[in-house]
Amino acid sequence: MHGSTSADAAGPVPRLVDRHPSVSPERLIAQLRPPPTFADVSFASYRPDPAEPTQAAAVQACQDFCRRAVEHRAGRRKLFGRRAVLPGVGLYLDGGFGVGKTHLLASAYYQLPGGGPESPTPKAFGTFGELTQLAGVFGFVECIEMLADYTAVCIDEFELDDPGNTTLISRLLSSLVERGVSVAATSNTLPEQLGEGRFAAQDFLREIHTLASIFTTVRIEGPDYRHRGLPPAPQPPSDEEVAARAARVDGATLDDFDALCAHLATMHPSRYLALIEGVTAVFVTGVHAIDDQNVALRLVSLTDRLYDAGIPVVASGAKLDSIFSEEMLAGGYRKKYLRATSRLVALTRAREP
């Protein structure tokens, strides 16, 4: 099925596979801000769970980070009115899925003064993947020069499963911290590790050993808010029902799962945000379990962009919580697949298209 409904007088439903977006370096920089899903968040809108005191403590820690980041960016006044550069400060939010880490990270971004690259006090918010893409496009040294005057860089979903990229970003951030840029980061702890104290935090600090001394680690406990009181993934509709529903939604796209996965392989993940630009809902037919790691990781990247943009997903075929096999979930990318599953299920409940 390729998104065509012959009975639809308005013509076939558009397909993502027919889109071939390009992304300029300027757009990559402009994208370094919280995604639409978190465009209106603040510390005031974060609702700490009274049963989880670590959540209220995390709000305070984030506010302290903002205050110290501004102070360190301003530097220390020396004799004759000159200011010495103070190294940036660091904050690492350690916790499981859906405890509000991204909400808090975005709130910190908004609390900090300034804005984009043209602001007198610029700041940046991006995923780990976006930061590695930025370094790849501009080059390591150029990226340092571009971000050296920023007050802070906020990194969502810091990845520890790619040693090369982790080393690259650790070196990049070390250079920025020396120049007064503060760094806040989040990452996920696997569900079965929640009882193991600071396991994830130790992993993080070991991998970024050149930076570890500046980071304050804040643990956030709590259940995944996306799944609180909710059942597993719903039973999928039929191919015909998915196509019929897609035809009734302005701005929707309709794709065959295998064709979509093949299309994702034709472009760098940095283009996925442009791929879904202007889309109101994504409909997919023929979903099935994946046994190719490269295909799975590209699907994770697309899921992250859909989640960031708050775009609902409706799919036929296999249930969305069964796409990644047990064998894949037992491998090194487990946390990515679990995060993607959590987000896909949440997107099926975003609203009824």
Candidates 192, 205, 201; CA nearest to 220 is 201
| CA separation for the pair 292, 294 (Å, rounded) | 6
Count CB neighbours of 238 within 10 A: 11
Alpha helix ranges (H) inside the chain:
25-30, 53-74, 101-111, 128-138, 140-147, 163-178, 199-207, 239-247, 257-264, 272-275, 293-309, 326-329, 334-348
- Residue 101 DSSP SS3: helix
- The pLDDT assigned to 346 comes to 87
In the predicted structure, residue 208 carries a pLDDT above the cut 90: no
d(CA 10, CA 31): 33
Give the Cα separation of 150 and 50 in Å (integer).
35
Please state the rounded mean pLDDT for residues 264-287: 93
Confidence (pLDDT) at 136: 82
Q: Are 199 and 206 in contact (CB under 8 A)?
A: no
Confidence band, pLDDT 50/70/90 cuts, at residue 200: low
Q: In order of start, what are the domains of the chain with their CATH numbers?
A: 16-22+228-348 (no CATH), 50-221 (3.40.50.300)
Q: Which of 227, 198, 219 is nearest to 55 (CA)?
A: 219
Tell me the per-residue pLDDT of 151-160, one tens digit each, with 9 for 90 and over: 999 999 877 6
| C-alpha 303: how far from chain center | 9
pLDDT (tens digit per residue) in 279-301: 999 999 999 999 899 999 999 99
